[in-house]
Amino acid sequence: MDFNLDKDILILKKTVQKFIENEVEPYAMLIEEDNKVPTNVIEKSKELGLFGLSIPVKYGGLGLNMVGKCALFEEIGKTHNGYTTLIGVHNGIGTVGIVELGNEHQKKKYLPDMATGEKIGAFALTEPSAGSHATNLHTTAIKKGDKYILNGNKHYITNAPIADVFTVMAVTDPSKGVKGITSFIVEKDFPGLIIGKEEKKMGLRGAPSAEVIFEDCEVPEENVLGLESEGYINALRILTNGRAGLAARNLGSCRKLLDMSMAYVQEREQFNVPIIEHQAVSHMIADMALEIEALCSFMYRVAWMVDQKQKVIKEAAMLKLFGSEVYNRIADKAVQVHGGLGYVQDYPIERFYRDARITRIYEGTSEIQKNIISSQLKKEYS
């Protein structure tokens, strides 16, 4: 297990770091105010190849392994989390299913445009009655001739208002339970696909999400992703694969919060000394740094395990749980360290605090991760 990054990845990491600092961060407050990532930022992200991190070189992407992607996600996580989420979801659950499960025809058809960012990816699993209970799907897919007819609602679908390609889970055989779910590639222009009203969220402004409605939506049989009736397994694979990337984005945000906190505590004075000289403050800073290093080591270990094709169901769940909880604790400490300044919207600390909260909910709640961990432990100890 070697955590030293390849020379090419180090160069890419430095390039992305400069891009985030110079081309994205100056627009962070504008993203927050407009609830939209500026077109020029998206176009420059396309030019840099940031939409093709997960896509193999033969289809126009950068073809990075998980360790490489995490190295870049860490840098991307240091800016506005709306931008971070848009890029992260596209490269993660938005494209991984097609990369890992798609046949050659599907890969040639979709991946080149997704690699350039001309087509944005999204993942549609969650429903009003199927969030944490992901097997309780009500969206159906009935075979008629050479097409499947989809009916149902998905909600809280990140990237939905701007997405062109959706990985969708639907029930093809209700009598088989989880073995009756199938994955589909659904294009936004397929007849019967409707994007609902964009949701107003506590945070993640600039990362649009909305309901996705299927009303007799016609999907060609050639757009079945993977094997029929293996949709639930596919969903788990896609989510598990993406958890290291999500942790890397969380890690980047944590590092940014520590950077801002360190600058502030060395400049801000109380009782005639910088506040870092007060033990209460210095201990909060120490706790932040400790948890960042722990998360970093754990994240790269799991990323390495993914690249080695090792089983990571338990470890990925642990990482998603730990990364989300660490981000929330560090955001809370950053607000406390900054005092009143950390609570006002003119400064980015309160934005990170709001954005951190969703990480304990989306892509599997913290409670669901604990269920997965305990389930895997029972198997190991049985």
Annotated catalytic residue, options 211, 277, 363, 367:
363
Sign of CA dihedral 110, 187, 158, 48: positive
- CB atoms closer than 10 angstroms to residue 301: 17
Helix residue ranges per DSSP H, the chain? 7-19, 28-34, 39-48, 66-76, 81-91, 96-101, 104-116, 231-267, 279-307, 313-338, 349-357, 366-381
| β-pair partners for 219 | 148
Q: Determine whether 151 is exposed, middle or buried from the number of CB atoms within 10 Å of its CB (0-12, 13-18, 19+).
A: middle
In Å, the largest CA–CA distance within the chain is 79
Q: What is the C-alpha to C-alpha distance for residues 320 and 9, in angstroms, rounded to an integer?
A: 23
Return phi, psi of residue 285, to 5°: -65, -45
Q: Please give the distance of CA 332 from its chain centroid, rounded to a whole number.
A: 21
Q: Characterize the bridge pairing of strands 209-220 and 193-198.
A: antiparallel
93, 123 contact by CB (below 8 A): yes
Residues near 340 by beta carbon (within 8 Å), at least 6 away in sequence? none
Tell me 192's DSSP state: T
Distances (CA, A) of 22 to 19, 192, 199, 274, 351: 5, 42, 30, 30, 20
206, 36 contact by CB (below 8 A): yes
265, 276 contact by CB (below 8 A): yes
Whether 363 is a known active-site residue: answer yes
Tell me 190's DSSP state: S
Return phi, psi of residue 224, to 5°: -65, 130
298, 322 contact by CB (below 8 A): yes
223, 106 contact by CB (below 8 A): yes
Which residues does the annotation mark as catalytic? 363
